Structure 1
Amino acid sequence: MGGRVLAAATVTVVLWASSFISIRSSGEHFGPGALAFGRLVVASLVLGAILLVRREGFPPREAWPGIVTSGALWFGAYMVALNWGEREVDAGTASMIVNVGPILMALLGGWLLKEGFPPKLMAGMAVSFAGAVVVGFATSGGGASSVLGVLLCLVAAVVYAVGVVLQKPTLKHATPLQVTTFGALTGAVACSPFAGQFVSEAERAPMSATLQVVYLGVFPTALAFSTWAYAISRSTAGKMGSTTYAVPVLVILMSWLFLGEVPGRLALLGGLLCLSGVAVARMRGKTPEREPERAPRDVPAAPLTTDSEASAEFTR
């Protein structure tokens, strides 16, 4: 990863971590489908305005199948499942379960996108997943989470992984802004059956909850998904997936700052494992030294000639 790619991935991870806190809070006033619809409508408006200013226009025909499929799965199904799951489990547990997605992402990327299975990537994922499990256990009160919530977060992880793998080849035909804009719009259309519920709940919800919906649409969706598309278009699905293991660590810190939940030692240990796994996955091996070129053994050497013979040959 270059400096810009790493910066884009960092912005994505931080904003996605904040979304777990906002979803947990605003979910008290908005249903899972209604919250996803409002978030995607805001994101579509923001991204559409940027697209018009930049005059990028519509993506080519080759990009539409991937945009529609990944938009319906990642923007639509993922957000509904995650919103529903966070009504049943806490934010730390949800972030841990969703982090199964990068493992599926790396496996699908290695198989379908021919990215391979580097040993350091797989080792880093194993370490980070162990840390994510520790974080989730520490923040869920010893595993007293709802089975329904766990299953919904697993569904979110699966559609998240499939959506990312489908998005990767699409970025060869369209720009990251085009893919993100029309992906969000596809997700909003898929969630349109919840439009009426969103309007009715928005009328009763406090202003703080409505502002959180706007925040989710502008920052964790419009901005973070754009920086993600930019980064993954210049990296691999496996490496980008490994960076999201830092999310549970940030979720703990944000829960402490905004929700008053003080992380325990076990949660901090899990967060350290998550970051260690990310570091292992991004390590580069030493470039093997090239051996000096040798002349083929079976090629006969040219016969030696004297100066007089060479001069005579030149004269002839």
Structure 2
Amino acid sequence: MSDRQPAGALLAAAVTVLFWSSAFVSIRSAGAAYSPGALALGRLAVAALLLGGFALVRRVGWPDRRAWPGILTSGLLWFGGYMVFLNWGERLVDAGTAALVVNVGPILIALLSTWLLREAAPRSLWVGIAVSFAGTVVVGLSMSGGGSSSLLGVLLCVLAAITYAIGVVAQKPALRHGSALQITTYSALVAAIALLPFAGVLAREAADAPLSATLNVIYLGVGPTAIAFTTWAYALARTSASKLGATTYVVPALVVVMSWLFLGEVPGWLTLAGGALCLAGVAVSRRRVAAPVAVVSPRG
């Protein structure tokens, strides 16, 4: 695959990163009224209904059988498991610790995609990931003051990072046998079905939840799930999993800005410095690798 990504893939990745960054604010609001499993089911149910309706209008057919291993793996582990683990983990650890642990995900994606997908991993990618992860560490430390961390909470965040990484790597081959809309729609349906045991809890909590929390659940289903996961799949089909995974290190920097704007949480200089490191690392990871120049020996 060429190291040059189409403009459409870059735009799609930008849309994904923006929506996933905004999800941080919405999860904090909705999580006060909805438990981890119910929140994940509500979010995925909204996404599955929206994507399913759109797929019917577009007459998207049944996926090719070769796409189903990736759909089932990403649907169960990433769309479903990741959301439950992350929602639960963030209740037991402070935001800084959660950010530190979950952002191991792009590193795992790079390792797995190099091993399983045989993707090239240039030095600039690893340098960029290292710089961005250092920025995540700085942001995490600056957000961890006075917070609490439990062993279970850290373990849940580790599971979130692992399921995220496996889901992304599993989705990549599936996109060779289906469109971004098709793969995302059926992955969301698989996850929603898997989380149906939480339906009773969701119904009870929705009856007591304030309107603002429910609206945030709906927003999470529409923006950060239905739209963002589709644009992610579109970008993933057109670039390497490791390089796309590294772009998610923009999220901590954007979360800092959005928390400042919408929650009134004024970041300290250490947090800003960490956010700048995250952005710098993403820029380095996306540097193009110069093609080797062929040396032609003169003929005598």
Does the aligned pair in 1 maintain the 2:94–2:148 contact within 8 Å?
no
**Offset from partner CA, 1:78-120 (integer Å, 9 cap, x none):** 0000111121234454233211100000000000000032111
Does the aligned pair in 2 maintain the 1:129–1:274 contact within 8 Å?
yes
Larger Rg: 1
Does the aligned pair in 1 maintain the 2:16–2:231 contact within 8 Å?
yes
- What's the Cα RMSD here? 1.5
Q: Is residue 170 from structure 1 mapped to residue 174 from structure 2 by the alignment? A: yes
Give the aligned residue type for 2:100.
Answer: M
Q: Sequence identity, in percent?
A: 62
Q: 1:101 aligns with which of 102, 105, 109?
A: 105
Equivalent positions of 1:125-204 (< 5 A) are 125-141=129-145, 144-204=148-208
Whole-Å Cα distance in 2 between the matches of residues 23 and 95 of structure 1? 14
Task: Determine the structure 2 residue equivalent to 1:306.
Answer: none
Task: Determine the structure 2 residue equivalent to 1:72.
Answer: 76
Task: Determine the structure 2 residue equivalent to 1:251.
Answer: 255
Task: Determine the structure 1 residue equivalent to 2:30.
Answer: 26
SS in 2 for 1:234: coil
Does the aligned pair in 2 maintain the 1:24–1:91 contact within 8 Å?
no
Whole-Å Cα distance in 2 between the matches of residues 208 and 155 of structure 1? 29
Task: Determine the structure 2 residue equivalent to 1:301.
Answer: none
Shift of 1:287: 3.1
Whole-Å Cα distance in 2 between the matches of residues 15 and 207 of structure 1? 21
Equivalent positions of 1:196-235 (< 5 A) are 196-235=200-239
Unpaired runs of 5+ in structure 1? 298-316
In terms of mean alpha carbon deviation, does 114-123 or 205-214 score higher? Answer: 114-123
In terms of mean alpha carbon deviation, does 224-233 or 139-148 score higher? Answer: 139-148
Whole-Å Cα distance in 1 between the matches of residues 186 and 72 of structure 2? 8
Give the aligned residue type for 2:87.
Answer: N
In terms of mean alpha carbon deviation, does 93-102 or 20-29 score higher? Answer: 93-102
Task: Determine the structure 1 residue equivalent to 2:15.
Answer: 11
Give the aligned residue type for 1:37.
Answer: L
Shift of 1:55: 1.2
SS in 2 for 1:57: coil
In terms of mean alpha carbon deviation, does 229-238 or 61-70 score higher? Answer: 61-70
- TM-score scaled by structure 2? 0.95
Whole-Å Cα distance in 2 between the matches of residues 146 and 266 of structure 1? 24
Does the aligned pair in 1 maintain the 2:92–2:148 contact within 8 Å?
no
Whole-Å Cα distance in 2 between the matches of residues 146 and 260 of structure 1? 27
Does the aligned pair in 2 maintain the 1:134–1:269 contact within 8 Å?
yes
Shift of 1:258: 1.9
Task: Determine the structure 2 residue equivalent to 1:52.
Answer: 56
C-alpha spacing 1:244/1:141, structure 2 compared with 1 (3 Å):
same
In terms of mean alpha carbon deviation, does 254-263 or 230-239 score higher? Answer: 254-263
Unpaired runs of 5+ in structure 2? none
Does the aligned pair in 2 maintain the 1:23–1:86 contact within 8 Å?
no
**Offset from partner CA, 1:11-61 (integer Å, 9 cap, x none):** 111111111221122111011000000100000011011111111211111
Give the aligned residue type for 2:139.
Answer: V
